[in-house]
């Protein structure tokens, strides 16, 4: 497949000049193309925010649902039709704020998804309020004296919950980001990619320059099965580690459903429930 196969032609994109989302959409297209996934086999599920508009700008099936709710929707789509490649794709506010509970329980369920979080450490669409990942002290029109809340750490949270794949990427490094995203898509089970992204319009702290200076790539010998080590790396907020921090093979949510114990056919392809079985179930109520 070619990157162009995901182009939808002339469309009015709602992103600001210099926005990290332009890089992220390229990273996504390249990853899908290199993995030979056809547009009709992939479903993007997004919430609301600037990040969440991404599925509108490429050729794919999409469910652009409510703010914060992409993970439950994506989980159900994958469970209903495991043949689809499902990507939950939204912003940091969407996933870690409004959807925080789904983030936690999505990890516990372990559906085979890529959970891609555009982490610009700000609420972009609503014009620059603090997000759960905003750094302490960041002044916004709402956080007038600067953020006083401890920043939410998605990576330590995911590792603490024994997530099956935990990674951090930076959209300014496309090649490396593509490698991480591809691996996350191929990974069987829930895969978090926290994608660091500058927001030139509202986040004056976490700029392209800041990311360059405050991130580093994990060494090749990093042992991703070592949970304590991964946790330790993830706690470091002075220097943000990039790469795959932690992986853990686990049975998937859909893989453990009774409906797939005998056959893999998606639910829509199966007929109605067998009337004789239904009659038997009803008959049980005779005594």
Partner 1 sequence: MFYIIGISIVLAGQAGQGIQTVERLLTRILKLDGFHVFATKEYMSRVRGGANSTEIRVSSEPVRAYVDAIDILIPIDKEAMKRLEPRIGTGTLIVGDTSYLGDVNNLLEVPITELAKDLGNKIYSNIIAVGICCGMLDVDMNLAKDYVRTFFKEKDDDIISKNVEAIEVGFKRGKDARDTNLISLDISKDDSIKDDLLLHGGEAISLGAVAGGCNFISSYPMSPSTAVLVSLAQKTEELDIISEQAEDEISAINMALGAWYAGARAMITTSGGGFALMTEGLSLAGMIESPVVMHLAQRPGPATGLPTRTEQGDLALALHGGHGEFPRIIIAPATIEECFYLTNESFNLADEYQVPVIILTDQYTIDSYYNISSLDPTKVENTRHFIKTGEEYHRYTITESGISPRGIPGYGKGLVCVDSDEHDQQGHITENFTVRKQQMDKRLRKLDGFFKNMQEPAYHGSESPGTLVVGWGSTYHAIREAINRVGDESIAHVHYSILHPLHPSTGDILNKAKKVVIVESNATSQFGRYIRAETGIKTDATILKYTGEPFSVEDIVKRLKEEI
| Chain residues that interact with ligand TPP, rule: CB under 6 A | 48-51, 67, 90-94, 118, 120, 122-126, 131
C-beta of 221 vs 269, nearer to partner 1:
269
C-beta of 153 vs 247, nearer to Mg ion:
153
By CB under 8 A, tell whether 102 contacts partner 1: yes
H-only helix segments in the chain: 20-34, 70-80, 92, 100-109, 154-160, 174-186, 208-214, 227-235, 275-283
- Cα–Cα distance measured from residue 155 to residue 117, given in angstroms and rounded to the nearest whole number: 11
3 state DSSP class of 145: coil
One of 28, 37, 54, 79 touching partner 1 (CB under 8 A)? 79
By CB under 8 A, tell whether 186 contacts partner 1: no
C-beta of 114 vs 180, nearer to partner 1:
114
73 binds, among partner 1, ligand TPP, Mg ion, none (CB under 5 to 8 A by kind): partner 1
Query: Which range touches partner 1 (CB under 8 A), out of 47-55, 155-163, 209-217, 239-247?
Result: 47-55
Estimate the crossing angle of helix 100-109 against helix 70-80, to 10 degrees: 30
For residue 141, CA distances in Å to 104, 147, 177, 243 come to 29, 11, 32, 34
Within 10 Å of residue 224's Cβ, how many Cβ atoms?
Answer: 17
**Tokens at residue 232, please?**
């330790």
- Binding residues for partner 1, rule CB under 8 A, total 56
Residues making contact with partner 1 (CB under 8 A): 11, 14, 39-41, 43, 45, 48, 53, 55-56, 59-66, 69, 72-77, 79-81, 83-84, 101-102, 104-105, 257-259, 266-270, 272-275, 277-282, 285-287
């Amino acid at each position: 497949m070619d990157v162009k196969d995901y182009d939808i032609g002339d469309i009015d994109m709602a992103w600001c000049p210099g926005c990290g989302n332009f890089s992220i959409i390229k990273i996504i297209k390249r990853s899908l193309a290199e993995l030979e996934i056809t547009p009709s086999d992939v479903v993007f599920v997004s919430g609301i925010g600037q990040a969440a508009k991404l599925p509108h700008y490429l050729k794919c099936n999409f469910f652009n649902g409510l703010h914060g709710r992409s993970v439950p929707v994506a989980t159900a789509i994958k469970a209903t039709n495991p043949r689809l490649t499902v990507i939950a794709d939204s912003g940091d506010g969407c996933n870690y704020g409004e959807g925080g509970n789904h983030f936690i329980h999505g990890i516990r369920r372990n559906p085979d998804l890529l959970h891609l979080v555009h982490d610009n450490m700000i609420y972009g669409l609503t014009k620059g309020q603090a997000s759960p990942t905003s750094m302490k002290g960041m002044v916004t029109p709402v956080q007038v004296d600067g953020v006083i809340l401890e920043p939410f750490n998605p990576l330590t949270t995911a590792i603490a919950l024994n997530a099956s794949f935990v990674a951090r990427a930076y959209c300014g490094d496309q090649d490396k980001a593509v490698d991480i995203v591809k691996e996350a898509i191929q990974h069987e089970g829930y895969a978090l990619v926290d994608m660091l992204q500058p927001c030139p319009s509202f986040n004056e702290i976490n700029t392209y320059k800041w990311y360059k200076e405050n991130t580093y790539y994990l060494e090749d010998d990093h042992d991703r099965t070592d949970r304590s080590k991964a946790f330790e790396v993830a706690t470091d907020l002075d220097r943000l580690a990039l790469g795959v921090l932690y992986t853990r093979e686990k049975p998937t949510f859909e893989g453990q459903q009774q409906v797939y114990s005998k056959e893999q056919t998606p639910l829509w392809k199966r007929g109605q429930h067998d009337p004789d079985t239904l009659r038997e179930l009803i008959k049980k109520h005779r005594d």
